[in-house]
């Protein structure tokens, strides 16, 4: 009987490669939560947006929606009481697949949204319709 390399490594206690895979997923997926119920997911691609610009974007969005609380979420678990998920040019994270498609909305990337005044207005009105 042939034993797989994965089995041998696990038997030796070496499963670091799985953890690194999970770490890279966290590095490339960013999530912001507004009022603990509206989740915005996007990929952390190399872009013109740095961390401070992201925070400004989501704080401005929250204020425009009449909300106050904004937080970056690194650990997405099922205990969150999310009512709407907005995917900004990304796919739904695996640990959020339990939410119905009716709660999930696909949108353009942050860069595309911020590229023109018209795109910003369209995005804001789209989010307002779903949130309010």
Kindly list the domain boundaries of the chain, sorted by start residue.
5-131
User: How many C-beta atoms lie closer than 10 Å to residue 52's C-beta?
Assistant: 8
- Give the pLDDT score at 78: 65
Distances (CA, A) of 79 to 37, 75, 76, 95: 11, 11, 8, 11
What is the pTM assigned to this prediction?
0.73
d(CA 43, CA 66): 26
**pLDDT tens digits along 28-61:** 678 899 998 999 998 876 455 677 888 899 999 9
Residues 61, 106 contacting (CB under 8 angstroms)? no
Three-point CA angle 47, 65, 35, nearest 5°? 85
């Amino acid at each position: 009987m042939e034993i797989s390399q994965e089995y041998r490594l696990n038997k030796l206690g070496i499963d670091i490669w799985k953890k690194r895979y999970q770490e890279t997923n966290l590095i490339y997926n960013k999530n912001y939560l507004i009022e603990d119920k509206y989740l915005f997911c996007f990929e952390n691609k190399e872009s013109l947006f740095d961390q401070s610009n992201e925070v400004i974007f989501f704080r401005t969005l929250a204020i425009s929606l009449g909300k106050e609380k904004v937080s970056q979420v690194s650990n997405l678990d099922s205990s969150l009481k999310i009512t709407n998920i907005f995917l900004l040019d990304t796919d739904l994270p695996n640990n959020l697949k339990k939410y119905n498609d009716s709660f999930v909305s696909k949108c353009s990337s942050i860069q595309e949204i911020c590229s023109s005044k018209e795109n910003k207005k369209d995005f804001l009105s789209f989010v307002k319709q779903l949130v309010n």
